Amino acid sequence: MSSAFPSPADPAADPAADPAADPASPAPVRVGLIGAGPWARDMHAPMLAAGPETTLTAVWARRPDAAATLARAHRAVVADSPEELFDRCEAVAFAVPPAVQAQLAVRAAQAGKALLLDKPLGADLAGARAVAEAVAAYGVVSQMVLTKRYHPATRDFLAAARRIEVTGARSCYLHGAFLGGEMATGWRLTEGALLDLGPHLLDLLDTAVGPIAALRATGDPRRWVELTCEHENGAVSQASLSGAVRLPRARTRVELLGPAQELTWDSEGASHRESWPLLRAEFAAAVRSGVPGPLDAARGLRLQELIAAAGRFLP
């Protein structure tokens, strides 16, 4: 996918690669980060600070000490409140639990800020709908951080999927993060894999196979969930979700099968870092043009609607 920006480079190694050295280059988008937990530390902050399309200007978190540590590491300032953060940026990135994101994203949209939103959009359908409605009402740009969608291998897989006929699909997203460690957070342990991992697989299936028309679910979100999806084109897909199984590494896989050939996408060997340049460039391009891409808050709401539909079958 083309971008309004060049590929990221190291300005220190090549001054000509610095956008500030080229008056024709768009100014970096000034982004404030809400959250200072492990996902903010390991993904959002370094991605946004690396540039050249964005710069990290401020950090706010409910734990001021964590916000200060993260801000200091990336030469940003600490905001004393979300409103102070809004004043210091033109876009806001979120790395907080979904219920917190839903509340603060509405306030950021009201302040006229572009939104870089994590999945799921909200803790429930009402929260997700409030964010999507605020984005539409205030006319701000939004983009979902569905990291797998920005990986070059995923883009190649989805392009190939459009050229084949799919009869059925199998997929899984499995790991053991809920068994302990930094990612075993309260909302994940309470809500489980459907809300946390479901957006990724449902997004891939809805895109690669075709729009999902109906789905059913069995299992326990805190242990293992199995989804059966019926697509508008008549194809049927399966999705297995768990964050509570011991594996050497996380496993995400989608297999498309049909009368002509099998097409497979596998996350083995892929790194989130490989998704950062495209994610960052597409968000900055959307902010500068005022035109969001397909992975906007409306897409986040669509995924939340599918999650809610599946959740009606679960305890």
198-218 pLDDT, tens per residue?
999 999 999 999 999 999 999
Mind listing the pLDDT tens digit for each residue in 291-309? 999 999 999 999 999 999 9
d(CA 113, CA 31): 9
CA–CA separation, 13 and 53 (whole Å): 17
Mean pLDDT of 118-136: 98
Give strand pairing partners of 255.
170, 264
The average confidence (pLDDT) of the chain is 92
**Type of residue found at 24:** A
- Confidence check: pLDDT of 6 > 60: no
SS3 label, residue 204 = helix
Q: Which of 201, 277, 308, 250 is nearest to 1 (CA)?
A: 277
- Measured between alpha carbons, how far is 227 from 202 in angstroms, rounded to an integer? 9
For residue 232 the two structure tokens come to 């508008």
* Pairwise CA distance, residues 158 & 205, whole Å: 10
- Quick one: pLDDT at residue 26? 85
Q: How far apart are CA 212 and CA 203, in angstroms?
A: 10
User: Model-level pTM greater than 0.75?
Assistant: yes
Q: Reading across the β-sheet that carries 91-94, which strands appear in turn?
A: 77-78, 54-60, 29-34, 91-94, 114-117, 142-144
Angle formed at CA 269 by CA 143 and CA 190, multiple of 5 degrees: 55
How does pLDDT run across 32-81, given as a tens digit for each residue?
A: 999 999 999 999 999 999 999 999 999 999 999 999 999 999 999 999 99
Angstrom distances, CA of residue 31 to CA of 51, 54, 60, 146, 288: 11, 7, 12, 18, 13
CA distance 40 to 67: 10
- Domains of the chain in start order, with CATH, are 15-148+273-296 (3.40.50.720), 152-269 (3.30.360.10)
| Alpha-carbon span 151 to 200, nearest angstrom | 13
CA distance 138 to 290: 12
Q: Residue length, the chain? A: 315
Range in 8-12, 87-91, 156-160 the model is least confident about: 8-12
Per the structure block, which two tokens stand in for 202? 């449902």
